[in-house]
Amino acid sequence: MKKFCKEWKIRQALLSTYHPQPNQAERSNRNVVQLISSFINENHKTWDEHLQKFALALRTSVHDVTKFTPSLINLGREIFLPFDQQMSDDIFLSDIDLTQRGIEIPQELHRIVSWVKTQIVKHSEINKEYYDSKHRHVDYTPGDKVLVRNHTLSDKSSNYMRKLGRKLPNLT
């Protein structure tokens, strides 16, 4: 694995598997779970039938930090929806050769990705300052009394998944 990473110029980072701060996959999973739970209400049996809708919603929504959609950053183009085609007299950009329009995708995409990287670094510094200003360090010793939250559990017999259920109020 080390040889592979070196050949492909990949910087391998070991991190906590299910912790969303350093693990982008877990952060994306959190977004997907949020979408699913807001869409399904009490019917936890058919959520998987709508995964394509959730994926499209995530790929076409503008990110707060990057100010671009994931489709533009990853594909170099926006995903056009049937609604877009009906509202536009112009033909789809994917149906023509972009170089005929004088658009150089690699250079423009490189510029966008560079800008996005700087935005991510800037916002991570802002988030760190905010976290540090609100964080209070608490040392616990064995025997200290602490509050324990009572969580609703999943129940297969009634087709209820706790992860997709309503969120309990935050106890602070």
Asked if 149 and 171 count as a contact pair (C-beta separation under 8 A), the reply is: yes
Is 81 within the bounds of a domain? yes
Residue 97 in this model has a pLDDT that exceeds 50: no
25 and 66 within one domain: no
Beta-sheet strands, E only, within the chain: none
Shared domain for 55 and 92, answered yes or no, is no
Q: How many domains does the chain have?
A: 2
Enclosing domain of residue 69: 62-125
Q: How far apart are CA 161 and CA 155, in angstroms?
A: 6
Do residues 67 and 81 touch, judged by C-beta distance below 8 A?
A: no
Same domain, 91 and 75: yes
Based on the fold, state whether residues 11 and 28 are members of the same structural domain.
Answer: yes
Taking each helix axis from N to C end, the angle separating 24-40 and 51-60, rounded to the nearest 10 degrees, works out to 120
pLDDT tens, position by position, 27-68: 778 888 888 888 887 778 888 888 888 888 888 889 888 889
Domain boundary, last residue among 45, 60, 75: 60
Q: Does 97 map to a domain?
A: yes
| Cα 151 → chain centroid | 25
Percentage of the chain beyond pLDDT 70 is: 78
Q: What is residue 106's predicted lDDT score, i.e. its pLDDT?
A: 76
Domain-located, residue 36: yes
Contact 30, 20 (CB under 8 A): yes
Residue that is last in its domain, among 60, 91, 106: 60
Average pLDDT over residues 77-104: 62
pLDDT bracket for residue 20 (50, 70, 90): low
Which pLDDT band holds residue 79 (cuts at 50, 70, 90)?
Answer: confident
* pTM above threshold 0.75: no
Task: Name the band, by pLDDT with cuts 50, 70 and 90, for residue 26.
Answer: confident
Position 130, amino acid: Y
